[in-house]
Amino acid sequence: MLYAIISTDVADSLQKRLSVRPAHVERLKTLQGEGRLVLAGPHPAIESNDPGEAGFTGSLIVAEFDSLASAQAWADSDPYIAAGVYANVLVKPFKQVLP
């Protein structure tokens, strides 16, 4: 089943994000390589694909997992959690309708 992982950043998270981004992206590439990643990306703090110093306010990942528990465990082990980037993370089932 698909699960949405919806994360909200702490204030002024940009430097924390940048410090562990390679490890965060590597985990996403692993999901992609396994054919389980639907989409992933951050929420820019301003209306721009490159928000610069404004940074980001959170992230969205939609991926396939065996269960809610496995999706939650995967989310809990994100390098952004260990680095203190995320203030909170919500994981819930997701039903893709389109495309």
What domains are defined for the chain? 2-94 (3.30.70.1060)
CA separation for the pair 47, 45 (Å, rounded): 7
Which contiguous run of DSSP H or E holds residue 63?
strand 56-64
Q: Express each pLDDT in 57-96 by its tens digit.
A: 999 999 999 999 999 999 999 999 999 999 999 999 999 9
DSSP tag of 78: -
46: number of Cβ within 10 Å: 12
Q: Express each pLDDT in 12-59 by its tens digit.
A: 999 999 999 999 999 999 999 999 999 999 999 999 999 999 999 999
- Side chain identity at residue 34, one-letter code: E
Nearest in space to 83 (alpha carbons), one of 6, 10, 2: 10
Phi then psi for 78, rounded to 5 degrees?
Answer: -65, 135
